Chains A and B, each alone.
Chain A
Amino acid sequence: MKIYVYAGLKDYFLPEFELAEEVLNIDQLRACLLAINAQAGKLLSTCRFAVEDGFIDNTYKFKAHETVIVVPPSSGG
């Protein structure tokens, strides 16, 4: 699974990286990211997640080799 992070998350993770483990859903993905860098916990708890088609919720089941975008709270405008 390829992961892209943005904005403040780049203080904790590389902008893009491969996740070795297979994860089924957002909850498992958050746990994996926390295992990589626990200091990102507070920010990760406020992030949304998206795949190519758009934002996803906790019911979404990841496909094999999917690309996931981790989206911190917006600060545009």
Chain B
Amino acid sequence: MAGMLAGAHHPGAGAVVLFSGEVRETNQGRAVAFLEYEAVVPLAEKMIGEILAAACEKWGLPIALARHRVGRVDIGDVAVVVITASAHRSEAYAANRYIIDRIKHEAPIWKCEHFTDGTKEWGNNCNCHAVTGDITKHIYE
């Protein structure tokens, strides 16, 4: 994360926003031991690249970065980072939210929650289709 942030500065950017998605110790009242992420890596990388490009075009960003881990991620560790830089903070905040929302809903990445009671389950999948009726249409709040 420090390395990514170091690469996110730009002479035209007065604002740099960093989102760090980290593993918390409980989820819906259950004690979490760790998370394990799986991805279709080439497809996820391609899609994240496209999302970043779309954000840069939409908000005129000089820099947008994102990285998502795969494999085991322990409590308190970082699973995903999104960094956006813009001339003013409004665009950096909005673009950052856009990027992480789209990654969470669209990128072929999944988390398996391992609980302290020894059970595990694939968790909190995007279920926008239940509202939109279309598996490709998402609701970003």
Contacts and interface: CB of A to CB of B under 8 A. Distances in A.
A binds B: yes
Contact of A6 (B47, B100, B105, B110): B110
B21 A77 contact: yes
A74 B126 contact: yes
A47 interface: yes
B39 to A, nearest CB: 7
B10 interface: no
A8 B123 CA distance: 9
A71 B47 CA distance: 13
A-side interface size class? 10 to 19
A69 B103 contact: no
B-side interface size class? 20 to 34
A7 to B, nearest CB: 4
Contact of B110 (A48, A54, A55, A76): A76
B126 A75 contact: yes
Give chain B's interface secondary structure class. mixed
B55 to A, nearest CB: 15
B37 interface: yes
A3 to B, nearest CB: 13
B54 interface: no
Give the interface centre of B21, B103, B109 by most chain A CB atoms within 10 Å: B109
A67 to B, nearest CB: 11
Interface of A: 4, 6-8, 46-48, 50, 54-55, 57, 69, 71-77
Given A4-B40, A6-B108, A76-B103, 20 more contacts: A6-B38, A6-B110, A7-B112, A7-B125, A48-B135, A48-B136, A69-B108, A72-B110, A72-B125, A73-B126, A74-B110, A75-B124, A76-B39, A76-B107, A76-B109, A77-B68, A77-B80, A77-B103, A77-B104, A77-B111
